[in-house]
Amino acid sequence: MSAITADSVAVSLPIEGMTCASCVGRVEKALKAVPGVNQASVNLATERADITFDGTPDVAAAVQAVQKAGYTVAETSIELSVTGMTCASCVGRVEKALKAVPGVSSAAVNLATERASITAAGGVSSAALIQAVAKAGYEARAIAAESSDTDAVAERQAAELKSLKRSLTIATIFALPVFILEMGAHIVPAFHHVIAQTIGTQNSWYLQFALASIVLFGPGLRFFKKGIPALLRGAPDMNSLVAVGTSAAYAYSVVATFAAGLLPAGTVNVYYEAAAVIVALILLGRYMEARAKGNTSEAI
């Protein structure tokens, strides 16, 4: 018998159909033949097999081995409510995290309903699944544990929609002047001279800096709170993309505004409008998406 190492992972599977010690022997023999299995111990009374894998456990192979031996591995379906997902990439990460939990045979995540349906061996707990989702950067809770899940989801979606609407309104109010100040000359060439002769180009940049800062660190702060941690985990998402793109435009513009001498001649320009408008447009998309989710939940 091989020694248990620090890399060993223990998995417990509920076995159905065993009636005697001979059945126990068959199941143990089948499990020990699975590549990666270090130890396998089957208990007839509890109808459970305790398996120790070397490294990453191949639960699917263990289940298949038990089935080939003529017995059944009892599985259960678990439903989780998952929040924080914003795109298909998020769905993929959550599914990957759930499937990596020992004992999980399948996991399907629905972005519209914010639910995860998991099929796993009876020994897999909701707590282990929730922890796996949390490590991936999202929040989850067992639906069965919620007293009124439908109402809770509806309330959460309504609150999210209200928050997004407020953020979108603020972002639009402050991003629009920035866009007009910087891009107005592209629409009406004479507008550039109007700005230069009234408040002046430098003062216009100061004003854009103030307005763009409000947008980025007000309504746009949500992208940094979620995007930067995801980037540090090595699993960037849409929030990370927005955070990196807007901060790059904003940072370059700040240097051009307050330390223009650091930039090569002819490259002193500001891009505050890009950062502010991107935040406003992404919030608009999120708002429309939240409305669609609410309608989907109501329809279901």
CA dist 113 and 102 (Å) reads 25
Q: CA 95 to CA 154: how far, in whole Å?
A: 23
Closest Cα partner for 62 from 77, 41, 44, 93? 41
Residue with tokens 């763009």: 212
pLDDT digit string (tens) for the chain, length 300 residues? 455 555 678 888 888 888 788 888 888 999 999 888 888 999 888 888 888 888 777 777 888 888 888 888 877 788 898 988 888 888 999 999 998 887 787 899 998 888 899 988 766 778 889 999 999 889 888 875 444 456 666 777 788 889 999 999 999 999 999 999 888 877 777 777 788 788 888 899 999 999 999 999 999 999 998 889 888 888 788 888 999 999 999 999 999 999 998 999 888 999 999 999 999 999 999 899 888 877 765 665
Contact between 39 and 51 under an 8 Å Cβ cutoff? The reply is yes
Alpha helical stretches, state H, the chain: 21-32, 59-68, 88-99, 126-135, 149-187, 190-197, 201-217, 221-232, 238-258, 272-299
Task: Please state the length of the chain.
Answer: 300
DSSP letters spanning 50-77 = EEEEESS--HHHHHHHHHHTT-EE-EEE
